[in-house]
């Protein structure tokens, strides 16, 4: 059980900001926080309040801490009548996949943009302007991969367990170490991810940086939505061939089976909180620069007053990042994966004073080594079902690692 620190009363003010610069260009090198898609979203810096959480059920403790922050804050929100997402008091957060450390941070300054409107929120009169320093560009990137052999062996073990009937699906992850010539300036990979993957949610929270295509839950005005991704195909670079592959991909029995487990787990988690849950009859193919995914958007009308943190407690971990049945899959992951995932594959995003927010799954990401910020761990995971093969899953994980490898690399 985490001891939740007391939070001082704080003055919070949101006002219109006339600044046309891209959000990521506003960030300082230190304490950068980000949640951006298609040029809109939130960025922040500084630390007005912060809590670390540990254990297997951090969401209730996070919610208690957040209620204390909200209760003690005096908020003046000039944009409240507009109903824009992310005005007023906001916290960024990143949660561990399993047993690690989770964190919520209230920035001193948040700049948001939605529908072409830009605003700034400051806490306790913090100055708006962050130190304007040039982005430090890496000159050398070295990748150290010690996981490939271990990963294929773990995949073979997991598939054997699935074929024996022990479980239906499990997601196994691997990591690769990236070594730079100097401490990483997270603004460098952030900008490259945002440029290369504009349809993903590009994020940075306390040393975790990435661009996720998967929205675990968005809650706004009582309506919840979740984008489920499960089933992946590596692009070939040949547009005509990729188009043919995409058409066949949507009919792949193996990939549809894997995808179905993910959708069902989200529906079952949302159903107790919602008066209705809508699920499309079939997935669509999400086309990204490096891979294709099977995707389904699930929506529901929340009837029990749950906040986004409450919904996270029910949703995480979904079958898309853990497996099915979830308790058995988690036990298998602990037994054979041989990896401390940290905050990889955990929820990452933000919430506001009402409890609304957006929480993705921390995929296509890297975590900075706190002791040596010139080193990072890059993560990728694959969902395994009866038809999976170690060689194919290793190749799929390589495709998923490509986003962060490219984002960290020196300019061509």
**Helix, strand or coil for residue 318?**
coil
Residues β-bridged to residue 358? 218, 350
Phi, psi of 129, rounded to the nearest 5 degrees: -75, 125
Cβ atoms of 107 and 122 closer than 8 Å: no
- State yes or no: is 400 an active-site residue: no
Angle of helix 390-408 relative to helix 187-196, nearest 10 degrees, comes to 120
- Reading the block at residue 12, the tokens are 């919070």
How far apart CA 80 and CA 125 sit, in angstroms, is: 19
Q: What are phi and psi of 243, to 5 degrees?
A: -65, -40
Catalytic entry in 214, 258, 367, 396: 214
Where do we find the tokens 């990728």?
380
Which of the following is catalytic: 29, 108, 169, 358? 169
Report DSSP letters for 323-376, one per residue. EESHHHHHHHHHHH-----TTTTSEEEEEETTS-EEEEE--SEEEE-SS-TTEE
Residue in the block written with tokens 């690399």? 409
**Known active-site residue 169:** yes
Chain centroid to Cα 365, Å, comes to 8
Show which residues are catalytic: 169, 214
């Amino acid at each position: 059980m985490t001891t939740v620190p007391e939070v001082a009363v704080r003055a919070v003010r949101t006002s219109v900001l006339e600044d046309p610069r891209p959000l990521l260009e506003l960030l300082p090198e230190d304490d950068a926080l980000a949640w951006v898609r298609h040029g809109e979203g939130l960025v922040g810096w500084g630390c007005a309040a912060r809590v670390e959480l540990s254990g297997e059920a951090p969401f209730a403790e996070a919610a208690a801490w957040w209620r204390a922050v909200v209760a003690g804050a005096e908020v003046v929100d000039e944009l409240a009548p507009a109903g824009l997402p992310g005005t007023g008091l906001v916290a960024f957060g990143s949660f561990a996949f399993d047993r690690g450390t989770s964190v919520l941070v209230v920035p001193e300054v948040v700049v948001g943009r939605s529908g072409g409107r830009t605003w700034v929120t400051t806490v306790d009169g913090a100055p708006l302007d962050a130190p304007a320093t040039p982005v430090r560009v890496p000159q050398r990137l070295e990748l150290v991969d010690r996981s490939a052999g271990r990963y294929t062996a773990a995949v073979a073990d997991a598939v054997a367990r699935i074929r024996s009937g022990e479980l239906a699906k499990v997601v196994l992850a691997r990591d690769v170490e990236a070594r730079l010539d100097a401490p990483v300036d997270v603004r460098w990979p952030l900008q490259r991810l945002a440029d290369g993957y504009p349809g993903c949610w590009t994020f940075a929270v306390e040393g975790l940086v990435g661009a996720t295509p998967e929205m675990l839950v968005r809650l706004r005005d009582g309506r919840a939505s979740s984008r489920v991704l499960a089933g992946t195909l590596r692009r070939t670079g040949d547009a005509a061939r990729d188009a043919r592959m995409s058409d066949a991909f949507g009919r792949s029995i193996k990939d549809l089976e894997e995808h179905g487990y993910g959708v069902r787990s989200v529906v079952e988690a949302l159903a107790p909180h919602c008066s209705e849950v809508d699920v499309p009859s079939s997935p669509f193919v999400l086309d990204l620069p490096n891979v294709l995914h099977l995707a389904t958007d699930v929506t529901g009308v929340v009837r029990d007053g749950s906040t986004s943190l409450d919904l996270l407690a029910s949703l995480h971990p979904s079958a898309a990042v853990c497996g099915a049945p979830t308790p058995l899959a988690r036990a298998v992951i602990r037994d054979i994966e041989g990896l401390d995932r940290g905050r990889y594959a955990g929820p990452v995003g933000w919430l506001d004073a009402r409890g609304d927010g957006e929480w993705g799954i921390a995929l296509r990401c890297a975590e900075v080594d706190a002791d040596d910020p010139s080193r990072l761990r890059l993560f990728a995971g694959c969902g395994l079902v009866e038809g999976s093969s170690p060689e194919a899953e290793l190749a799929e994980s390589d495709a998923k690692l490509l986003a962060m490898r490219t984002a960290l690399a020196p300019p061509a």
